[in-house]
Structure 1
Amino acid sequence: MKTVLLSVLCILTAMTACTEEKTDGLPLLLSQWNTTSIIPFLTKQNKYIYVDKSTLKPRSDQQFRSASPYTSTGFAVVENEKNESAIIDGNGKIVVDFSQHEIRLHTINGLTLYKKQSEYEKKMPFWQWEWNILGGAIKKEQTYRKIEIGVLETKQVLLQKDLPYLDESYYLNFTPVDENHVFWNGTLYKIKKNRFHKMEGNIVEFLENKRMLKTSNGSFSMYGIHQNKALLHGLKGSETLSITYRGTNLVLHEINKERYEPQVPKLLVDSKNNNVYPFPQYEKAFPKEITKATSTQIDFIKKTSLVYSITNSPYFLLGVFNYDSDVWAFDWRYIDTLGQVEDHIDVYNFKVLDQVGNLVWPDRKMIFPDQYNVEGWKFGKIAGYEGMNDRFLIPIENKEQQRTMGLWNSKNHTWEIAPAYHNILLLDSEKDIYALQKENDGLYTLYDNKHKRDIGSTGYQSINSDGLVSCKLDAQHTIHYYIDIPSGLEYREK
């Protein structure tokens, strides 16, 4: 199952590189095929040059106002002193000219997607002027965004639009399906000769196992990417679920009710046979009959307000909101495809989030059982990230109402990082490296949790998972540069 991840990482605007002139005449000092060993380096003159990561030797004489790391496909964004952005390749040659556009890059299936965006004021027809009756001023212009998204290697433009500033934007949130297919912006593309070819449109959700949900006239159909015939069709959304127990029909109202109507309903009903398919993957039908349950479990089911299909298992998760709890919490039971209700099941690799992205399953008592809460702590919203496995970042509040955070191992029932920090950021789940902030507004320091050691001695105002950090020189000046997270090596001249 694809897990929606909770993120508390400090997200910074990516630094971009810049140069004054085109570099067509420069010698090929940067290797197009070895850009992974190159990193932007900040000089004393507050300029960026590209250097070799291991030796710190310059790879060219180019200087930039700011610089991004190279993508895995060998491209970087650069910016000149006029705040104009461009894209260079691994030879330092400009492949997208300087302009006032903000540029972002994203790699997928060995190709580079780019997004260019700029703002401008557009004169509007008089019937769209904004009139200020009290002040007398008339606003005759409206802010627009010019957006272009395409494939860098082939210069294929996938989207070009001018949109009012407040309209929904477009993002580089391309999703790989397999080595030859990509999903983006409601469309399935096939990649052939490095070009994107549209296969299917009107896709509202892409699912696991190469399945997709399409919509037409208020109903939904499920297809496989290589199948012309629908796997399921005529599906309608519902917030009501019916299930039979000993000849009595139990009707559950307002299941998976949300404040705002979702694009895809959380329950899809087959109009032919009334099979109900719950989110997130809609891969199996909810049982129509309860075949095994206690009276207590039946009472629980009658109050159920959340139904969730546990992928790669025969189970569905049943949730009842606990109004007696002083925190946002659910109580849980489970039912399998045969209609057998269980109080407990084995742990599966999945998470359930509420409408605002907070983790609700596994809940706090599963992760941090009450028997370990000897201090009488209160708990905040628990966060888990991909690759952390049995570890969770848990905010606590002690009896003195002091709030801190720690890293808890739910399998071993131990604190791997004691709850003595104001904030903890995950930087590298594979290498188990975190950034620790001792106090509010304090500096972040690097910590290697795998080897239980600090990395370096420098503290940073902010730090991103790609190694971009900020550091105050004095009250008026802050610099940004890159570091090597595993070692703490700083790519800057002191």
Structure 2
Amino acid sequence: MKTIVCSIFFMLTSVMACTQEKTNKSLPDPSKMKNINSVPFLTRQKLFMYVDKTSLKPVINQKFKSASVFTSTGFAVVVNEKNEYAAIDENGKIVLGFSAEEINLNVINGLTFYKKDIEYEKKMPVWKWDWNIMGSGIKKEQTYHKIEIGVVESQQVLLSEDVPYLEDNYYLNFISVDETHVFWNGTLYEVKKNRLHKIENNIAELLENKRWLKGSDAEFSMYGLSQKKAIHSGLKGSETLSVQFEKEIITLNEVNKERYAPEVPKLLADNKTNDVYIFPQYEKVFPRKITKATSSQIEFIRKTSLVYSITNSPYFLLGVFNYDHDIWAYSWLYIDTEGNITDSIGSYDFKVLDRVGNLVWPDRKMILPDEFINKDWKFGKIKYYSGMDDCYLIAIEDEKQLRTIGLWNSREKIWEIKPQYYDISVLDTKKQIYALQKEQDGLYTLLDNKTKKSIGSKAYKSINSEGMVSIKNTLGETVYYYIDVYSGKEYKE
């Protein structure tokens, strides 16, 4: 756990990179989803074989040095004793052959996407040699990655490139737009017969409700999947926002300012109408006039530096950062599309996160009011994951500078998991399965938060959401194998 000072630093330097939490869940195609009954089982020879998860009888004859669980589409990654990777189906048939390239899989819209990646040294032309003036020699090679990304089912290759290390990179971050469309790497695809077909390139930002932004010559246009013409065009970025109150024009000169300019500005102004659309979804126009506000609210607005559009609501979020070291956080007001200012609004499924995923809005006082805290508590990170509803992981430092974390239910105003743990890992938000670590460097145990009961009787050095755990054996070696995180059943001899 990082200190509260680190959390504050990120709020100061990175809050303007906050984004609305995006669920980006895949839309499963039931015809492509499989009932997976096979799991990797660790033998006494320290090799993995696939067995039926109920009977533990082998279902695939081969044994592997390492093996993953099967995806919902029926594929897994295995490693042989030569440290070569391959992908297999449920029958053990190889669908991506063994090679030194590391393989990762991800399922979106019922399709299995793969990434092959290997690092190597590439000889460079003389003008790209690294000449060391201190006399330690000339480096004639550079580290590169060979990357291939494609679709397992159709063997379609979407990308095959050699990229310099720490420069460009590509990820399996495909996003489901609807049942037949996915977005990846700036491109919108239509899915037909397990193949992806490009229908739009050079997308700068994917938005909700099947919309996206494209940029050209510092101007942006908004498009929708069902519209042939642009929804909005001639949108230009701005860091200035003006609003009228009575006879005064209040001009905010540095709104949503960031250390590094984003590809899509947080404010987009229409050249023809002067309407301003606000990040993250640019779905409604900021009001030109304030129709109702108190004098203190107007003074607050003059200092506003953060303006976000709260989606699926008529409101915009207005933020002023308080640099008082006793507070060191944002204060908030809200304005609706009619120009009415209010101090608070109802509950909306909208989150503002910083670069590292910590919660900025709603803030701690909205989630955990002062009447429920000890007066000596100080607060660090607040984390939220999609599917946790009204529950938040809150880091606390007490008067003895002991740092712990707990799970707070903001609706019920109770600690679902009391702040008595060094770490809490979220394994399944829907079924409320958590891994708890009592002390630093301690072991993790499983908790079913719905029943408030421990799962299994074992503790582990690590546990991930797929059920892979690690332990130290009697020789001091780290051993990895799989368990069922819902029952605690172990898959090993």
Whether these two folds match at TM > 0.5 is yes
Summarize the Cα distance change of 1:198–1:479 in structure 2 as closer, same or farther, 3 Å threshold. Answer: same
Q: Is the 8 A contact 1:255 1:306 kept in 2?
A: yes
Residue type matched to 1:189 in 2? Y
Residue type matched to 1:156 in 2? Q
**In structure 1, how many angstroms separate the alpha carbons of the residues matched to 2:326 and 2:467?**
39
Matches within 5 A, 1:474-493: 474=474, 476-493=476-493
**In structure 2, how many angstroms separate the alpha carbons of the residues matched to 1:297 and 1:325?**
23
Residue aligning to 1:332: 332
**In structure 2, how many angstroms separate the alpha carbons of the residues matched to 1:300 and 1:81?**
65
Please state how far the C-alpha of 1:355 moved relative to its aligned partner. Answer: 4.3
Q: Is the 8 A contact 2:60 2:91 kept in 1?
A: no
**In structure 2, how many angstroms separate the alpha carbons of the residues matched to 1:474 and 1:271?**
70
Residue aligning to 2:45: 45
Residue type matched to 2:278 in 1? P
Residue type matched to 2:351 in 1? K
**In structure 2, how many angstroms separate the alpha carbons of the residues matched to 1:136 and 1:446?**
52
Q: Is the 8 A contact 1:258 1:355 kept in 2?
A: no
Residue aligning to 2:157: 157
Matches within 5 A, 1:124-273: 124-273=124-273
Aligned to 1:485, the other structure's residue is in SS state coil
**In structure 2, how many angstroms separate the alpha carbons of the residues matched to 1:347 and 1:318?**
16
Residue aligning to 1:18: none
**In structure 2, how many angstroms separate the alpha carbons of the residues matched to 1:332 and 1:119?**
47
Summarize the Cα distance change of 1:489–1:328 in structure 2 as closer, same or farther, 3 Å threshold. Answer: farther
Please state how far the C-alpha of 1:357 moved relative to its aligned partner. Answer: 3.2
Question: Of the candidates 14, 18, 21, which is equivalent to residue 3 of structure 1?
Answer: 21
**In structure 2, how many angstroms separate the alpha carbons of the residues matched to 1:404 and 1:145?**
40
Aligned to 2:249, the other structure's residue is in SS state strand
**TM-score normalised by structure 2 residue count:** 0.92
Please state how far the C-alpha of 1:238 moved relative to its aligned partner. Answer: 0.8
Residue aligning to 2:274: 274
Summarize the Cα distance change of 1:479–1:35 in structure 2 as closer, same or farther, 3 Å threshold. Answer: farther
**TM-score normalised by structure 1 residue count:** 0.92
Q: Is the 8 A contact 1:41 1:49 kept in 2?
A: yes
Aligned to 2:290, the other structure's residue is in SS state coil
Is 1:121 matched with 2:121?
Answer: yes
Q: Is the 8 A contact 1:305 1:320 kept in 2?
A: yes
Please state how far the C-alpha of 1:476 moved relative to its aligned partner. Answer: 3.5
Residue aligning to 1:397: 397
**In structure 2, how many angstroms separate the alpha carbons of the residues matched to 1:254 and 1:144?**
40
Summarize the Cα distance change of 1:287–1:55 in structure 2 as closer, same or farther, 3 Å threshold. Answer: same
Q: Is the 8 A contact 2:460 2:469 kept in 1?
A: yes
Residue aligning to 1:437: 437
Residue aligning to 2:6: none
Matches within 5 A, 1:2-151: 3-4=21-22, 36-151=36-151
Please state how far the C-alpha of 1:136 moved relative to its aligned partner. Answer: 4.1
Q: Deviations over 1:312-349 (max 9, x none)?
A: 11110111111125354111111000000011111111
Q: Is the 8 A contact 1:2 1:208 kept in 2?
A: no
**In structure 2, how many angstroms separate the alpha carbons of the residues matched to 1:338 and 1:34?**
50
- Larger deviation: 75-84 or 282-291? 75-84
Q: Is the 8 A contact 2:33 2:110 kept in 1?
A: no
**In structure 1, how many angstroms separate the alpha carbons of the residues matched to 2:89 and 2:119?**
26
Aligned to 2:334, the other structure's residue is in SS state strand
**In structure 1, how many angstroms separate the alpha carbons of the residues matched to 2:351 and 2:33?**
39
Q: Deviations over 1:182-229 (max 9, x none)?
A: 100000011112211110111011111100000111111000023221
Residue type matched to 2:292 in 1? K
Residue type matched to 1:3 in 2? E
Summarize the Cα distance change of 1:58–1:337 in structure 2 as closer, same or farther, 3 Å threshold. Answer: same
Summarize the Cα distance change of 1:481–1:355 in structure 2 as closer, same or farther, 3 Å threshold. Answer: closer
Please state how far the C-alpha of 1:421 moved relative to its aligned partner. Answer: 0.7
Q: Is the 8 A contact 2:150 2:156 kept in 1?
A: yes
Aligned to 2:153, the other structure's residue is in SS state coil
Q: Is the 8 A contact 1:33 1:90 kept in 2?
A: no
Summarize the Cα distance change of 1:135–1:327 in structure 2 as closer, same or farther, 3 Å threshold. Answer: farther
Please state how far the C-alpha of 1:397 moved relative to its aligned partner. Answer: 1.0
Q: Deviations over 1:397-451 (max 9, x none)?
A: 1111111111111112211111111111111111111111110000010011111
Summarize the Cα distance change of 1:283–1:191 in structure 2 as closer, same or farther, 3 Å threshold. Answer: same
Is 1:361 matched with 2:379?
Answer: no
- Larger deviation: 322-331 or 420-429? 322-331
Residue aligning to 1:22: none
Please state how far the C-alpha of 1:358 moved relative to its aligned partner. Answer: 2.2
Residue aligning to 1:350: 350
Residue aligning to 2:414: 414
**In structure 2, how many angstroms separate the alpha carbons of the residues matched to 1:431 and 1:155?**
35
Aligned to 1:365, the other structure's residue is in SS state helix
Summarize the Cα distance change of 1:414–1:137 in structure 2 as closer, same or farther, 3 Å threshold. Answer: same
Please state how far the C-alpha of 1:61 moved relative to its aligned partner. Answer: 2.0
**In structure 1, how many angstroms separate the alpha carbons of the residues matched to 2:395 and 2:230?**
46
Residue type matched to 1:432 in 2? Q
Residue type matched to 1:464 in 2? N
**In structure 1, how many angstroms separate the alpha carbons of the residues matched to 2:345 and 2:263?**
31
Q: Deviations over 1:110-133 (max 9, x none)?
A: 111111111221111111111112
Residue aligning to 1:423: 423
Q: Is the 8 A contact 2:357 2:383 kept in 1?
A: no
Q: CA RMSD in A?
A: 1.6
**In structure 1, how many angstroms separate the alpha carbons of the residues matched to 2:33 and 2:298?**
63
Structure 1 unmatched runs, 5+: 6-31
Aligned to 2:289, the other structure's residue is in SS state coil
Aligned to 1:60, the other structure's residue is in SS state coil
**In structure 1, how many angstroms separate the alpha carbons of the residues matched to 2:33 and 2:296?**
64
Residue type matched to 2:371 in 1? Q
**In structure 2, how many angstroms separate the alpha carbons of the residues matched to 1:351 and 1:87?**
37
Summarize the Cα distance change of 1:415–1:374 in structure 2 as closer, same or farther, 3 Å threshold. Answer: same
Summarize the Cα distance change of 1:302–1:430 in structure 2 as closer, same or farther, 3 Å threshold. Answer: same
Matches within 5 A, 1:427-466: 427-466=427-466
**In structure 1, how many angstroms separate the alpha carbons of the residues matched to 2:243 and 2:448?**
51
Q: Deviations over 1:149-198 (max 9, x none)?
A: 11111111110101111222000100011111110000001111221111
Summarize the Cα distance change of 1:35–1:93 in structure 2 as closer, same or farther, 3 Å threshold. Answer: farther
Q: Deviations over 1:18-63 (max 9, x none)?
A: xxxxxxxxxxxxxx98661110001111000001111111112211
